[in-house]
Structure 1
């Protein structure tokens, strides 16, 4: 009798475990009712502008999707995101045209051709900022290079988009190594993320900072407030080379944007490009494109860099082949033939 009761108890236990297991298989979170498909939208530093923009766009587009959820996640930024999306470690991402073209062609810093990436939308520009000590007499980055000024330059570390863009700028002037060249001029280089660079600037460990940020950049605001400096022009000839040969765009930082900035500053920028893998659903990308287009005011509240965003320019400057879902939307709006 005891053995029979034990047998029945064990049988009931296994039956309950089986039912629980079956329930867990019906949803991704064990709730038994969640069959959503998740698409990862990879951005940048979790504390940075790109993460905020990606989260804002994802939250808004999810209001229009049924059975699919776009999830904003931190990513490697402009350099690392193309490969991550290409090899399915993400589905949608952010980068810049020069990096996306190099990824497509398998050019450095990429080793393999990534032919499965498609452009979705051009957003606000990330802008080259060059600040220097107020007592320095040079007026532009171009003049700093031409006069071989001995400075200690702060720049983000290797692997970050700002570092690569900084090297692109100096290479356009025939300088292969910023560090070696500054050492030859009697200067030095200081690598650090923006919080480290802000601290080094405040402590006068460095004379200048070069980085790419959306306007207004909080790190530049903090630096200019902590220690007096000058936001510098990039220089006409240097700007022309970057615009005509490297895919940059002209950008004016209006006077008063930053502390002690009394004049407009002429520099260059690169528009943030939202891109996706070619196998991401046309319907999802259509809704994503539509969401960005129809929510200018919302995006301006997500980040102030969208205050001058014009959604009618979203199809401009897309150098990759455009995703069919985005292309369909742009054609409906008359933004693309």
Structure 2
């Protein structure tokens, strides 16, 4: 009887010993901390897939906007092509300023944003004066956001300064669009007191124009945006150009701004080129995200460009390895840097 008990005890000890050895293999490595992401540990370290997928969130902007459409498309791509790595979801937000704060607080992982606004946040100036942001890194350039100032033909507005006394849609209050509008007014020697300002989303701005409740609007968007296309197709609206002097003054406000010309014929009924300016759009991330997580995210994008280009017409020709640091204003995340160095573009 004693022999049976001893044998049983030895067997249990051996099983427990084997379990302990197996449990130490590779170890569970905790990755991104807090906020929107969570994940199981990496399986043995290195570039092996984690023992459970990383749960990540990508913030766009308003639902239906370009940021959100691409963010949602990327989430579907990640879930479809790299299910062992990611369980991703897109989140609609108020735009760049909100996305910056969500990344800084750890409440989201990746987010779209304007490079110029991110620069202002990192510097703690303008709308971000008194705040500190040190948890934001660049991931990759996406496309240019072009300032497209739409006015009704009957408004009589030919130059930006003609907006004095008119009703103008500046963008949602505190949004990147509205911050850009403030810069335009300042560079052109005007303030919001010189016009009747409306703080509206892009879709709301278009509706106000169509209903004759606004004379003009800042429709900052990718070239070929549905909102601008719709207005031009009616023959009742057009975009106005900035003068060279105005553009010099605008670009002097931030090195994230650069001059941009919309060729004639880009839109129906657009007979002349439009001189305006643009700012780079980026995908950013929390700086404290694991290197491997960001590396795999970037890899997913650039090794599936055919699928990325189907997400929105603006992606093709802009999301490309030769453009990855265009207009960059925040340091590149080490995970993105690793991938781009492997591809020889850094």
TM-score higher than 0.5: yes
Q: 2:169 aligns with which of 154, 159, 164?
A: 154
Determine whether 1:289 maps to 2:333: no
Partners of 2:277 and 2:53 in 1: how far apart?
A: 42
Partners of 2:232 and 2:239 in 1: how far apart?
A: 9
Q: 8 Å contact 1:118–1:322 — kept in the other structure?
A: yes
Partner deviation per Cα, 1:2-30 (whole Å, 9 max, x = no partner): xxxxxxxxxxxxxxxxxxxxxxxxxx9xx
The Cα of 1:172 is off from its aligned counterpart by 2.5
Q: 8 Å contact 2:78–2:86 — kept in the other structure?
A: no
Determine whether 1:41 maps to 2:51: no
Q: 8 Å contact 2:169–2:199 — kept in the other structure?
A: yes
Partners of 1:173 and 1:265 in 2: how far apart?
A: 17
- The DSSP-based 3-state class of the residue aligned with 1:213 is coil
Partners of 1:285 and 1:200 in 2: how far apart?
A: 41
The Cα of 1:329 is off from its aligned counterpart by 1.4
- 1:302 match: 311
Partners of 2:211 and 2:188 in 1: how far apart?
A: 30
Determine whether 1:324 maps to 2:337: no
Partners of 1:213 and 1:299 in 2: how far apart?
A: 18
Where in structure 1 do 4 or more consecutive aligned residues deviate above 6 Å?
none
Q: Which range moves more in the overlay, 204-213 or 317-326?
A: 204-213
Q: 8 Å contact 2:280–2:328 — kept in the other structure?
A: no
Determine whether 1:51 maps to 2:51: no
Q: Structure 1 residues 264 and 294, CA, compared in 2 at 3 Å: closer, same or farther?
A: farther
Partners of 2:343 and 2:159 in 1: how far apart?
A: 41
Q: 2:276 aligns with which of 253, 260, 267?
A: 267
- 1:85 match: 103
The Cα of 1:88 is off from its aligned counterpart by 1.1
Q: 8 Å contact 2:164–2:194 — kept in the other structure?
A: no
The Cα of 1:287 is off from its aligned counterpart by 2.0
Partners of 1:67 and 1:330 in 2: how far apart?
A: 20
Partners of 2:139 and 2:244 in 1: how far apart?
A: 31
- 2:210 match: 202
Q: 8 Å contact 1:201–1:227 — kept in the other structure?
A: no
The Cα of 1:215 is off from its aligned counterpart by 1.8
- The DSSP-based 3-state class of the residue aligned with 1:131 is strand
The count of residues paired between Structure 1 and Structure 2 equals 293
Point out where structure 1 has 5 or more consecutive residues left out of the alignment.
1-27, 29-33, 183-187
- 1:102 match: 120
- The alignment's C-alpha RMSD in Å is 2.3
Q: 8 Å contact 2:280–2:326 — kept in the other structure?
A: no
Point out where structure 2 has 5 or more consecutive residues left out of the alignment.
1-37, 39-50
Determine whether 1:215 maps to 2:223: yes
Partners of 2:85 and 2:302 in 1: how far apart?
A: 22
Partners of 1:85 and 1:132 in 2: how far apart?
A: 35
Q: 8 Å contact 1:296–1:309 — kept in the other structure?
A: no
With the length of structure 1 as denominator, give the TM-score of the two structures.
Answer: 0.79
Partners of 1:148 and 1:71 in 2: how far apart?
A: 41
Partners of 1:238 and 1:334 in 2: how far apart?
A: 39
The Cα of 1:248 is off from its aligned counterpart by 0.9
Q: 8 Å contact 1:85–1:276 — kept in the other structure?
A: yes
- The DSSP-based 3-state class of the residue aligned with 2:144 is strand
Partners of 1:226 and 1:138 in 2: how far apart?
A: 18
With the length of structure 2 as denominator, give the TM-score of the two structures.
Answer: 0.77
The Cα of 1:87 is off from its aligned counterpart by 0.3
- 1:173 match: 188
Partners of 2:318 and 2:172 in 1: how far apart?
A: 30
- The DSSP-based 3-state class of the residue aligned with 2:147 is strand
Q: 8 Å contact 2:53–2:87 — kept in the other structure?
A: yes
The Cα of 1:92 is off from its aligned counterpart by 0.9
Partner deviation per Cα, 1:116-156 (whole Å, 9 max, x = no partner): 11111111111101122224555442xxx2x6743222222
